[in-house]
């Protein structure tokens, strides 16, 4: 008989984490489906929709398990907000152990769909494909510091074709209080909710879809939060009260940011390196000038940051920044460029935990699936923050791990970053696979697992 094995530290921490989330599920009967669904999202390869996950978790009773999980995610009357709040309280301490939160990042991600019946699907720009296509678009809010990023809120964007059609709303069971909202309006609601919930404040970062909305900027400022948001080239700005700094306007009341950038002298531009990478440093050519924003300068005096690569006909980006005027240019640039965190997060959410894999059609099921993918991803972020980080210095190119013992090969034989989210998931997979009736890799029966009755603290 195969000898039983003890759970690893990852297994024990995962149990404790799920117990913490289960308290927000409002009923004991949802504890096991929560565990099964999050386990299915973290298992290797394969589709992360309900049916294949049920087949991997319980191969002998796949049909029954499928019905249980489908009812749990599609019809379960549990609160997404409560589960995300529990996740945030569990994960944020691990992130803040490396420094306070610095950024609130609002953005959107899209999931391509072939059919037309999934809630919110319409022909719209799909960032995943880089063109207009059938897809769902979801607005999210994430918080980050210099070490990690965690998504804490999400809501599906409903195009007019869905919000104004009673028949489609009824089929997807869209709540009556959910109507059409622009993406900046959805994002502002998420920021207000996070602020009211006491999430540690940070600089709000957003791309031009959100930053070009005056209502969004005013809403963020009304909460007392600073922002560094991208704007489109036709955005108008006005001269600052200081006449010495207003000479670029030539007597005009307002000009576009593109026009103002063209008037800046060569002496106004500086080369700034904002981040090291595995290859060349990330470097650009920037200028910053004080401006007033809004009709008659109603939004107050701010900094306009412009990036203009040499040899290009037009600048590549414009940002309105409410940081102190004394903030060094290098710090302003590093702050505006911190949005890269959310792009990496979307990639890991889709590739590692199946964010875009849900195949249901209803409003509740879609948001429940998103919440559970955030919960599974949150555990990986927590474990990554609890794993000793490499010493400082330039990030080296990915290398193949050393194999000191051929009988015990490394967890990831491919090139990898030792503390990346993919590595964290593969490390956890070893323990999760031993709990299944059949290994998802080789389909053999794993040795029994000795369960520890003593729960470990969440910070393990």
Taking only the tens place, the pLDDT of each residue in 88-133 is 999 999 999 999 999 999 999 999 988 888 999 999 998 888 899 9
Angle between helix axes 80-96 and 9-22 (nearest 10 degrees) is: 140
Q: Tell me the pLDDT band of 428, cut-offs 50, 70 and 90.
A: confident
pLDDT of 279 = 62
pLDDT of 115 = 84
Interatomic CA distance for residues 170 and 160, integer angstroms: 15
| Distance linking the first and last C-alpha atoms of the chain | 32
Pick from 263, 283, 285: nearest CA to 275: 283
Interatomic CA distance for residues 304 and 261, integer angstroms: 9
Q: Which two tokens stand for residue 394?
A: 């330039």
Q: Are 358 and 49 in contact (CB under 8 A)?
A: yes
pLDDT of 403 = 63
Interatomic CA distance for residues 378 and 424, integer angstroms: 11
pLDDT of 129 = 85
pLDDT of 457 = 46
Burial class (CB in 10 A: 0-12, 13-18, 19+), 3: exposed
Mean pLDDT of 437-443: 67
Angle between helix axes 363-386 and 340-352 (nearest 10 degrees) is: 110
Mean pLDDT of 212-228: 96
State yes or no: pLDDT of 450 exceeds 70.
Answer: no
- Stretch (H or E) spanning 93: helix 80-96
Mean pLDDT of 418-436: 83
DSSP 287: E
Mean pLDDT of 168-194: 94
Q: Are 151 and 349 in contact (CB under 8 A)?
A: yes
Q: Tell me the pLDDT band of 459, cut-offs 50, 70 and 90.
A: very low
Phi-psi region of 240 (alpha: psi -120 to 50; beta: other; left: phi over 0): beta
pLDDT of 242 = 66
Mean pLDDT (the chain, rounded): 87
Q: Which two tokens stand for residue 74?
A: 């599609």
pLDDT of 47 = 83
State yes or no: pLDDT of 437 exceeds 60.
Answer: yes
Interatomic CA distance for residues 164 and 160, integer angstroms: 6
Interatomic CA distance for residues 13 and 33, integer angstroms: 18
DSSP 400: P
Number of CB atoms found within 10 A of residue 43's CB: 23
Interatomic CA distance for residues 323 and 174, integer angstroms: 40
Interatomic CA distance for residues 7 and 433, integer angstroms: 11
User: Sign of the CA dihedral 251, 257, 258, 264?
Assistant: positive
State yes or no: pLDDT of 406 exceeds 90.
Answer: no
pLDDT of 98 = 94
Interatomic CA distance for residues 381 and 19, integer angstroms: 17
Mean pLDDT of 284-300: 90
Mean pLDDT of 339-344: 91
Q: Are 319 and 310 in contact (CB under 8 A)?
A: no
Q: Which two tokens stand for residue 32?
A: 């096991």
Mean pLDDT of 47-70: 91
CB proximity list for 238: less than 8 A, separation 6 or greater: 249, 253, 254, 291, 292, 293, 296, 297
CB proximity list for 387: less than 8 A, separation 6 or greater: 419, 424
pLDDT of 389 = 72
CA 319 to centroid of chain Cα atoms = 21
Number of CB atoms found within 10 A of residue 129's CB: 12
| Single pTM value for the model | 0.89
């Amino acid at each position: 008989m195969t000898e039983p094995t003890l759970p690893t530290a990852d297994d024990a921490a995962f149990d404790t984490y799920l117990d913490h989330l289960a308290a927000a599920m409002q009923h004991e009967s949802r504890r096991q489906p929560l565990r099964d669904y999050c386990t299915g999202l973290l298992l290797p390869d394969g589709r992360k929709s309900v049916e294949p996950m049920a087949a991997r978790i319980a191969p002998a009773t796949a049909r029954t398990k499928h019905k249980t999980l489908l009812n749990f995610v599609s019809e379960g009357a549990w609160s997404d907000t409560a589960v995300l709040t529990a996740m945030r309280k569990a994960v944020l301490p691990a992130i803040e152990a490396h420094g306070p939160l610095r950024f609130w990042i609002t953005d959107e991600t899209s999931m391509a769909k072939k059919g037309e019946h999934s809630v919110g699907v319409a022909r719209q720009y799909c960032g995943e494909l880089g063109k207009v296509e059938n897809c769902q678009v979801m607005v999210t809010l994430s918080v980050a510091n210099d070490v990690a990023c965690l998504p804490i809120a999400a809501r599906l964007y409903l195009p007019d074709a869905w919000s104004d059609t009673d028949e489609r709303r009824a089929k997807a069971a869209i709540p009556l209080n959910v109507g059409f909202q622009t993406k900046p309006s959805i994002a502002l609601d998420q920021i207000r909710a996070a602020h009211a919930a006491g999430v540690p404040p940070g600089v709000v970062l957003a791309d031009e879809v959100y930053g070009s909305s005056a209502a969004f900027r005013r809403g963020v400022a009304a909460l007392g939060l600073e922002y560094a948001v991208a704007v489109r080239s036709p955005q108008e700005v006005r001269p600052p009260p200081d006449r010495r700094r207003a000479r670029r306007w030539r007597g005009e009341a307002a000009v576009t940011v593109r026009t103002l950038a063209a008037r800046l002298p060569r002496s106004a531009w500086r080369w700034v390196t904002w981040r090291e990478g595995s290859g060349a440093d990330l470097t650009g050519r920037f200028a910053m000038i004080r401006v007033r924003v809004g009709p008659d300068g109603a939004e107050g005096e701010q900094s306009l940051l412009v990036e203009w690569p040499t040899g290009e006909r037009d600048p590549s980006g414009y940002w309105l920044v409410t940081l102190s005027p004394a903030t060094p240019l290098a710090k302003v640039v590093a702050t505006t460029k911190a949005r890269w965190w959310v792009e990496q997060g979307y990639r890991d959410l889709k590739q590692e935990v199946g964010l875009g894999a849900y195949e249901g059609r209803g409003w509740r099921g879609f948001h429940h699936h998103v919440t559970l993918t955030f919960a599974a991803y949150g555990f990986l972020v927590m474990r990554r923050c609890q794993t000793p980080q490499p010493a400082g210095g330039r990030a080296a190119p990915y290398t193949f791990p050393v194999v000191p013992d051929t009988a015990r090969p490394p967890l990831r034989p491919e090139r990898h970053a030792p503390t990346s989210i993919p590595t964290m998931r593969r490390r956890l997979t070893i323990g999760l696979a031993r709990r299944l009736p059949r290994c998802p890799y080789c389909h053999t029966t794993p040795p029994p697992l000795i369960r520890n009755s003593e729960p470990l603290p969440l910070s393990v």
